[in-house]
Amino acid sequence: MDRNKGQKKYFIRTYGCQMNEHDSEKISWILTNMDYSETESMEEADLIIYNTCLVRENAEIKVYGNLGALKKLKREKPDLIIAICGCMMQREEIRNVITSKYKHVDIIFGTHNIHKLPQLINNHLKTGKTIVDVLEDSREIVEDLDANRKYFFKAFVNIMFGCNNFCSYCIVPYTRGREVSREPENILSEIKELAKSGCKEVTLLGQNVNSYGKTLSREYDFVDLLRAINEIDGIERIRFMTSHPKDLSDKLIEAYKSLDKLCEHLHLPVQSGSNRILKEMNRKYTREDYLLIIKKLKEAVPNIAITTDIIVGFPGETEEDFNDTLELVKEVEYDSAFTFLYSIREGTRAARMKNQVDDKIKHARFQKLSQVLNEISLRKNEKLLGETFEVLVEEVSKNNPEVLTGRTRSNKLVHFKGDKNLIGTMVNVKIEEAKTFFLEGTIV
Ligand code: SAH
Ligand code: SF4
Ligand code: F3S
């Protein structure tokens, strides 16, 4: 749907993960149906929406800062509607802060009731009051929501919602509720529609995709779903986010060998290399379990790229625990990794742990870990020099209008010269330069 046709204008800012990004695409679709069009300028907007994240403190602080700055705008333009949604709004104590200290906010809604937005806007317009509408948890999946997707050639597709894992540091189970899987028929028909409209790549979204199917009324698991998607004409690449090591099956490892569209990349968050810390984190696997999965994967798919998430400075982490993480990183040889300083999240079990790590030590470990990871990334990228890869062309580089960027099946970012008409197509690129975070090459 054309998001630039509506009379009124909305501005949306998204914080956090792909789940939120995709929720914002759904909100955008809803608003387009309400005769709104998107604007990149807050000053121009009739409606401003912040889709928030609570996973770490810095995400939260950013929202409060940006929200404060909207006060002036609202004063100058009293008809402006300000709405906040997303993970922060699932927490009552945060809603209370917003309603008491940020009185210029007009609408508060949550992660389970995006579909009610038109009703909430109308209620606000009718009453002039602040509307707060949040569902604490919901097993109901609203299927009739479409999305205004950012790219026509690649798409996020939800396969499940929520999380049951309760890793002791993590707030997500308290914001996204209990795990629930979408019916395969609904997922497959969405992907078929996407393929018809030119989509080549799908990224299946869930907090723990390996446990897909557990809430369905029949036997059907993640690999069954992958097999069915692999049959859909037009789809050329299948990706997924995120996997939990405790549920990663041999069946999935085998699937990499038999499913030609499944991309040679796995994002497998390890969080820590220390068994003691993994236990405290409630991750339910050991370092040895994790390394065994990696060994099997590399045997099955020798060119697979492996990426991860790591938390530094979890409560009680000693120098020895941290060294275990460094050693694991060197053994796995990650292609890249997201590293995070442990952040206290009120309401989680780890927040109540007494032995919080000193900030200075956390930062020093973070620096050391980043350095080791970067050296490995560069070394792995240098091994690709001279090779040619299929690249899905994504966009024009922000720094150079003559340069295009795209991704290999292994999810490596590649820069190369080319015409912007190539966006959305597959090209072959020969790698000529290797950097830590991307590759450079020429179309051949
Ligand atoms: N469901 C996914 C992603 C969860 S959030 C998964 O399990 O992998 C993404 C990442 O944020 C996590 O993998 C973790 O590394 C990080 N994270 C979550 N809570 C955090 C906290 N309190 N402090 C620092 N990092 C955190
Ligand atoms: Fe958070 Fe763990 Fe669930 Fe991931 S699996 S969302 S880290 S609780
Ligand atoms: Fe995602 Fe942040 Fe929510 S990481 S699930 S938007 S808390």
Averaged pLDDT, 78-101:
96
In the predicted structure, residue 1 carries a pLDDT above the cut 60: no
Same domain, 63 and 158: no
Closest atom of ligand 2 to 176 CA is 6
Model confidence band, residue 4 (pLDDT cutoffs 50, 70, 90): low
Same domain, 160 and 109: no
Residue type, 315: P
Measured in Å, residue 288 CA sits from the centre of ligand 1 at 21
Residue having the nearest C-alpha atom to atom 11 of ligand 1: 55
Model confidence band, residue 138 (pLDDT cutoffs 50, 70, 90): confident
pLDDT tens for 303-336 read 999 999 999 999 999 999 999 999 999 999 999 9
Same domain, 122 and 44: yes
Number of domains in the chain: 3
Strand order in the sheet with 81-86: 36-38, 8-14, 47-52, 81-86, 107-109, 131-133
Averaged pLDDT, 392-413:
97
Same domain, 39 and 127: yes
| Nearest listed ligand to the Cα of residue 23 | 3
Measured in Å, residue 207 CA sits from the centre of ligand 3 at 10
pLDDT tens for 323-370 read 999 999 999 999 999 999 999 999 999 999 999 999 999 999 999 999
pLDDT score for 2? 59
In a domain, 372, yes or no: no
Same domain, 80 and 127: yes
Same domain, 127 and 184: no
pLDDT score for 174? 95
The rounded distance, in Å, linking the Cα atoms of 19 and 181 is: 14
Measured in Å, residue 2 CA sits from the centre of ligand 2 at 35
In a domain, 181, yes or no: yes
Model confidence band, residue 422 (pLDDT cutoffs 50, 70, 90): very high
Which one, of 226, 203, 222, 219, lies nearest residue 211 by Cα? 222
In a domain, 126, yes or no: yes
Measured in Å, residue 178 CA sits from the centre of ligand 1 at 17
In DSSP terms, which residues pair with 84 in a beta bridge?
50, 108
Measured in Å, residue 227 CA sits from the centre of ligand 2 at 26
CB atoms within 10 A of CB 411: 17
| Nearest listed ligand to the Cα of residue 351 | 1
Q: Range of 401's domain? A: 388-443
Residue type, 403: V
Q: Which helix (H) or strand (E) holds 14?
A: strand 8-14
271 lines ligand 2 (CB under 6 A): no
Backbone torsions φ then ψ of 112, nearest 5 degrees: -100, -5
In DSSP terms, which residues pair with 82 in a beta bridge?
48
Question: The tokens 């446990």 sit on which residue?
Answer: 211
State how beta strands 413-417 and 403-408 pair.
Answer: antiparallel
In the predicted structure, residue 139 carries a pLDDT above the cut 90: no
Closest atom of ligand 3 to 55 CA is 7
Which one, of 173, 80, 74, lies nearest residue 124 by Cα? 80
Q: What is the SS3 assignment for 408? A: strand
207 lines ligand 2 (CB under 6 A): yes
User: Which of 229, 263, 297 is the endpoint of a domain?
Assistant: 263
As a whole-number percent, the residues of the chain with pLDDT over 70 amount to: 99
pLDDT score for 342? 98
238 lines ligand 3 (CB under 6 A): no
Q: Which long-range contacts (CB under 8 A, 24 or more apart) does 381-385 make?
A: 381/412, 381/434, 381/435, 381/436, 381/438, 381/439, 382/434, 384/412, 384/431, 384/434, 384/439, 385/431, 385/432, 385/433, 385/434
Q: Which helix (H) or strand (E) holds 44?
A: none
Model confidence band, residue 281 (pLDDT cutoffs 50, 70, 90): very high
Averaged pLDDT, 197-210:
97
- Asked whether the beta carbons of 410 and 303 are under 8 A apart, the reply is yes
Measured in Å, residue 440 CA sits from the centre of ligand 1 at 31
Q: What does the chain come to in residues?
A: 444
Rounded alpha-carbon distances, angstroms, from residue 84 to 93, 120, 173, 176, 424: 15, 12, 20, 16, 33
- pLDDT, mean over the chain: 96
User: Which of 106, 133, 160 is the endpoint of a domain?
Assistant: 133
Rounded alpha-carbon distances, angstroms, from residue 268 to 124, 247, 336, 363: 43, 11, 11, 24
Q: Which helix (H) or strand (E) holds 108?
A: strand 107-109
Q: What CATH code is carried by the domain that includes residue 434?
A: 2.40.50.140
Same domain, 18 and 124: yes
pLDDT tens for 7-40 read 999 999 999 999 999 999 999 999 999 999 999 9
Rounded alpha-carbon distances, angstroms, from residue 378 to 182, 333, 406, 435: 39, 11, 18, 6
pLDDT score for 3? 61
In a domain, 99, yes or no: yes
DSSP 276-338: HHHHHTT----HHHHHHHHHHHHHH-TT-EEEEEEEE--TT--HHHHHHHHHHHHHHT-SEEE
User: Which of 246, 263, 280 is the endpoint of a domain?
Assistant: 263
Q: Which are the contacts of 204, defined by CB distance < 8 A and separation ≥ 6?
A: 157, 159, 187, 225, 229, 238, 239, 240, 241
Averaged pLDDT, 193-206:
97
In a domain, 333, yes or no: no
Q: What is the SS3 assignment for 123? A: helix
166 lines ligand 2 (CB under 6 A): yes
Residue having the nearest C-alpha atom to atom 1 of ligand 2: 170
17 lines ligand 3 (CB under 6 A): yes
Residue type, 186: N
205 lines ligand 3 (CB under 6 A): no
19 lines ligand 3 (CB under 6 A): yes
Closest atom of ligand 1 to 165 CA is 7
Residue having the nearest C-alpha atom to atom 5 of ligand 2: 165
Q: What CATH code is carried by the domain that includes residue 58?
A: 3.40.50.12160
DSSP 140-185: ----------S-SSEEEEE-EE------TT--HHHHH-S-EEPPHH
| Nearest listed ligand to the Cα of residue 205 | 1
Same domain, 251 and 208: yes
Q: Which helix (H) or strand (E) holds 239?
A: strand 237-241
| Nearest listed ligand to the Cα of residue 350 | 1
User: C-alpha dihedral over 30, 34, 38, 39, to 10 degrees?
Assistant: -140
In the predicted structure, residue 5 carries a pLDDT above the cut 80: no
208 lines ligand 2 (CB under 6 A): yes
In a domain, 396, yes or no: yes
Strand order in the sheet with 154-158: 154-158, 201-205, 237-241
In DSSP terms, which residues pair with 237 in a beta bridge?
201
pLDDT score for 412? 98
| Nearest listed ligand to the Cα of residue 343 | 1
pLDDT score for 211? 96
pLDDT score for 287? 98
Question: The tokens 């707060």 sit on which residue?
Answer: 132
Averaged pLDDT, 37-62:
96
